[in-house]
Amino acid sequence: MQVKRIIFLDYLRIFAFLSVLIGHKFYEHAVSFVSNESAHSTPRLIVELLLPLFQGGGAGVVVFFLVSGYIITFVLQTEQPTEFIIKRIFRIYPLYITAVLLQAIMQSLSSGELPELSIIIPQLLLIGDLFGTPYTLGGIEWTLRLEVLFYAFMIVLRYVGLLHEYKRYFPQLLIITCLTLWGLSPIPSFDIWSKGYVTIYGPFLLLGSVFFLKEAKQVGSWFLVGAAALVLAQYYYLIGVYQPNWIGAHFATLSVLIFFLSWVYRSAFSITPFVLLLSNLTYSVYIFHNWAWAPIKAVFHKLSIAILHPDIQVLFALFLLCFLMLKIVEKPGIRLGKSMILRIKKRA
């Protein structure tokens, strides 16, 4: 069955990857501009008001999770578990594996050492938390590990019928899961910059599911409000315990507000070729930007190309690289997954 495109999610994806990209690569420029007293006060004020949306890319990450929670709950209303698993594998892994291997090759060329299989294999499979392996792709891998964990969680619920036969219990289970995460020890428990990311950010995926349930009239408005309040309260409490360096950030509440307003006015959004292109580039930009930035910049520096500001040059090159990856890796991978599903259905 052909599923109608949910257009407001395209705009949220674009906001999310721009938030992450600006937060990781242009945030310091923005802070410097705000502090530049020789610049006009009006644009400085505008940039200053926007800074919380880009700090560390946090707003983009939370919006990504809300979008994922919403769309995964939506697609599992119609897709069988096998179909869902195949689609997700071929949607995520081909481009991700390509990026990880490219980074590993570049690192081995510069250091003369090949990556250890005990590290790169868990990274490639996105199961590094089981083995304590470091994050790849400039650190953004932790978000994909959480995504895969959420997929597994939802598949289990789909198998036992909690999304269909026993769907009246599903909303309560989401709240129980959220409270359980609150009460558990931090996952992961390592004293690193991402300590407790599952327990801190996992509830935003669950909240995305609640938004879909409200739209499907399976829960009421007060349930949605209560779930949002619970998730935010849990976030702010756990951040203070496990990641106190983020206490001064406001992106969590802003992200939920942005998602809520986009969802409320979802019928006002329309698709254009440019919006569709940017939305399609979201994943490739996300997984390439943080580690490929420095090598691309080094190439421009070595070739002494200075047509534009160095970071703007890198930005254009990054988008070109991501467009090529979309065409030669990501899209063929998605088509291969669909082809495999058709073969399975024909045999059945």
Each residue's pLDDT tens digit, 78-102? 999 999 999 999 999 999 999 999 9
Residue 252 scores a pLDDT above 80: yes
Q: Are 105 and 175 in contact (CB under 8 A)?
A: no
Q: How far apart are CA 274 and CA 319, in angstroms?
A: 13
Residue 2 scores a pLDDT above 60: no
Predicted pLDDT of residue 322: 97
Q: How far apart are CA 97 and CA 56, in angstroms?
A: 25
**Residue 2, in any domain of the structure:** no
Q: Considering the chain, what is the average pLDDT of its residues?
A: 93
Q: Which of 1-15, 66-80, 234-248, 285-299 comes out lowest in average pLDDT?
A: 1-15
User: End-to-end alpha-carbon separation of the chain, Å?
Assistant: 17
Predicted pLDDT of residue 1: 47
Residues comprising the chain, all counted: 348
Predicted pLDDT of residue 3: 59
**Residue 1, in any domain of the structure:** no
Residue 283 scores a pLDDT above 50: yes
Predicted pLDDT of residue 169: 96
Residue 4 scores a pLDDT above 70: yes
Tokens 């304590």 sit at which residue?
Answer: 132
Q: Tokens representing 20?
A: 């992450």
Number of domains in the chain: 1
Q: Using CA atoms in the order 264, 267, 270, 271, what is the torsion angle rounded to 10 degrees?
A: 80
Residue 308 scores a pLDDT above 90: no
| Burial of 19: CB neighbours in 10 Å, binned 0-12, 13-18, 19+ | buried
Residue 235 scores a pLDDT above 50: yes
Residue 162 scores a pLDDT above 50: yes
| Mean pLDDT along residues 7-16 | 97
What distances in angstroms separate CA 37 from CA 27, 31, 43, one per listed residue?
18, 12, 11
Residue 131 scores a pLDDT above 80: yes
| Mean pLDDT along residues 53-58 | 94
Predicted pLDDT of residue 310: 86
| Burial of 63: CB neighbours in 10 Å, binned 0-12, 13-18, 19+ | buried
Q: Please compute, for residue 170, the number of CA atoms within 13 A of its CA located in the half-sphere on the CB side.
A: 31
Q: How far apart are CA 44 and CA 48, in angstroms?
A: 6
Q: How far apart are CA 72 and CA 51, in angstroms?
A: 30
Structural domain that includes position 329:
7-347
Q: How far apart are CA 180 and CA 317, in angstroms?
A: 44
Predicted pLDDT of residue 111: 80
